[in-house]
Amino acid sequence: MSKVSKFVPKADLSSSFVVFLVSMPLCLGIAVASGAPTISGIIGGVIGGVVVSFFGGSPLLVTGPANGLLVISWEFIQHHSFSLFLWSILLAGLLQILAGVLKLGQFFRAVTPGVILGLMTGFAIVIFSGQLLVVLGQESAGTVFANFSAAFSAILEFTDSGVSQTVQVGFGTLLLLFGYDKFTPKKLKILPAALIALLLATAVTSIFGMDVTRIDLPQKIFSSITYLDLSLWDNLFNPLVIKTALLVAFIASAETLLCATAVDKLHTGERTHYSKELTAQGIGNTLCGLFGGIPITGVIIRSTTNVMAGAKSKWSTIFSGLWLLTFVALFPGLLSEIPQAVLAAVLIHSVTKLIRIDDVKHLWEYDRFAVVVFATTTIGLVFFGVLTGVAAGLVLSTLHSLQSMSRTVVRVEEKGDKTELVLAGTATFFRIPQIATALENIDTEMDVVIDYKDLLMIDFSVYTMLQEWEDQHNAMGGTVKPSIADMIDHLPYVAMRTKT
């Protein structure tokens, strides 16, 4: 069991309430945007706040429904069902628990920055396109381009039909959210912009009886929970369920541990225990699968709010989850008055923070190929889906890493009546063109001496090419010393083994 941090009453209680105020609209908004039951977002927020925080290894990290998993949730629920999606969430949680038990927490941090930035940017574009339509009073059209096309058509219609009350509320909320930090007095900024927008828009639309679509939240909340349907247990082996579970587990784990690292930089207290946190996240997602919550992960914006609000221990996030549960249980009628366009605007404002231009500029300065990985991941996700985007980014970054590891020096030097062939570094199939070009420049009748004292590794493809070259060179009247076979006796030729 996790060691429970010392409770600091004043600091943790006050910060927990601030985190609750920031989390509530996001939990609701992400659930609605996912096409899941509205209560599922609250369940995820409560489990993330209470359970994951209690067992977690990052004391000030806030866990809950995340923008990064919204696209996956929406795609699955739209094409299948929420009941089936719960099995993917359950399996993802079990995979995270297994990874934590196996101490693989640090492994998930090895995802390259280009892939992570590409994921965040791709998610931001997809979510923005869908929620823009909601602000415009319409439903998501499916693909990113269909969404933007429909949004453009809707805007053109304003000239004929006028601006609806939904659009007025949605764009009014966006103006408030984006102008809040710039124009709000410093003393009032302790109140989160999302909460102010939600309360103000809900009050105005209710008082004036405005014709807007509101969120669907049953009055009897706990009786409306969608629990795991055990009759669907055989879907645990469904390839679609397994593929989605792997994707949720991978993205949730990578995002959580990267967030934990960022949060550690914001305070001087206890550092993150990554495998322990990964296990706790797995417990949380397992419970979400069992009790009808949408998938959860560590979230940077709410975690930053927690630190800045003065949190001292994990009790801050635990109490934020309890505040959320209490409010929903006591005041469900108030939540059902919230306009959907307001939650869509809150999400649009939130996802704009996923597009990190400064981080991309930083990549460009230090590793320009990482920007190619970033662009590939983003484009793959937007055009072809999450799995394709992630796979394309990972494959490209892996190939680049392998190529970078293959640093080969090939040099041909004329020394009297002999030619010296210098081979150094790591000779892999990536460098075959370079080696082949050098061999072509050696006269066929020359006596060749190979200097391989600094050759660390050679793979089978290069060995085969050198052997064929030696056979041909000898047949043309030249000699090779030592022979390739003798050289291989002192070198490994199986890829990725090093000389001892």
Helix%, strand%, coil% for the chain, nearest 5: 70, 10, 25
Same domain, 166 and 112: yes
Q: Which of 5-19, 88-102, 164-178, 446-460 has the lowest mean pLDDT?
A: 5-19
Residue 468 belongs to domain with CATH number: 3.30.750.24
Residue 144 confidence (pLDDT) above 50: yes
Q: Under 8 Å CB-to-CB from 289, ≥6 apart: which residues?
A: 86, 87, 88, 89, 90, 91, 92, 93, 228
Same domain, 207 and 319: yes
Question: What is the model's pLDDT at position 1?
Answer: 44
CA 447, CA 481: separation in Å to the nearest integer? 8
Residue 212 confidence (pLDDT) above 50: yes
Residue 3 belongs to some domain of the structure: no
Residue 230 confidence (pLDDT) above 80: yes
Residue 499 confidence (pLDDT) above 60: no
Question: What is the model's pLDDT at position 408?
Answer: 79
Question: What is the model's pLDDT at position 4?
Answer: 54
Residue 498 belongs to some domain of the structure: no
Same domain, 238 and 338: yes
Question: What is the model's pLDDT at position 362?
Answer: 85
Residue 441 belongs to some domain of the structure: yes
pLDDT tier for residue 66 given thresholds of 50, 70 and 90? confident
Same domain, 379 and 461: no
pLDDT greater at residue 186 or residue 36: 36
Residue 92 confidence (pLDDT) above 70: yes
Q: Which of 73-82, 108-117, 472-481 has the lowest mean pLDDT?
A: 108-117
Among the ranges 80-94, 352-366, 433-447, which has the highest mean pLDDT value? 80-94
- Classify the C-alpha dihedral 387-393-396-397 as positive or negative: negative
How much of the chain exceeds pLDDT 70, in percent? 92
CA 241, CA 244: separation in Å to the nearest integer? 5
Provide the domain limits for residue 449.
407-489
Same domain, 212 and 110: yes
Same domain, 343 and 415: no
Across the range 70-79, mean pLDDT stands at: 90
Across the range 307-324, mean pLDDT stands at: 90
- Classify the C-alpha dihedral 27-33-39-41 as positive or negative: negative
Same domain, 230 and 274: yes
Of 363, 397, 431, the position where a domain reaches its end is 397
pLDDT tier for residue 445 given thresholds of 50, 70 and 90? confident
pLDDT in tens, 243-259: 999 999 998 998 898 78
pLDDT tier for residue 360 given thresholds of 50, 70 and 90? confident
Residue 499 belongs to some domain of the structure: no
Same domain, 391 and 413: no
Question: What is the model's pLDDT at position 317?
Answer: 94
Q: Which of 37-51, 137-151, 289-303, 468-482 has the lowest mean pLDDT?
A: 137-151
How many residues comprise the chain? 500
Structural domain count, the chain: 2
Of 397, 426, 453, the position where a domain reaches its end is 397
Question: What is the model's pLDDT at position 3?
Answer: 54
Tell me the three state secondary structure of residue 427: strand
Same domain, 91 and 158: yes
Same domain, 307 and 376: yes
Residue 1 belongs to some domain of the structure: no
CA 297, CA 62: separation in Å to the nearest integer? 8
CA 118, CA 114: separation in Å to the nearest integer? 6
Same domain, 310 and 378: yes
Residue 317 belongs to some domain of the structure: yes
Distance of CA 392 to the CA centre of its chain: 14
pLDDT greater at residue 333 or residue 50: 50
Question: What is the model's pLDDT at position 265?
Answer: 77
Question: What is the model's pLDDT at position 367?
Answer: 79
Question: What is the model's pLDDT at position 496?
Answer: 37
Same domain, 360 and 474: no
pLDDT in tens, 372-428: 999 999 999 888 887 788 889 888 888 877 766 667 788 888 877 788 998 888 887
Question: What is the model's pLDDT at position 495?
Answer: 42
Across the range 187-215, mean pLDDT stands at: 83
**Which DSSP state fits 49?**
I
Mean pLDDT score of the chain: 85
Residue 150 belongs to some domain of the structure: yes
pLDDT greater at residue 256 or residue 109: 256
C-alpha Rg value of the chain to the nearest Å:
29
CA 359, CA 364: separation in Å to the nearest integer? 9
Question: What is the model's pLDDT at position 95?
Answer: 96
Of 373, 397, 421, the position where a domain reaches its end is 397
pLDDT greater at residue 498 or residue 217: 217
Residue 413 belongs to some domain of the structure: yes
Tell me, yes or no, if the pTM score tops 0.85.
Answer: no
CA 481, CA 217: separation in Å to the nearest integer? 82
Across the range 363-376, mean pLDDT stands at: 87
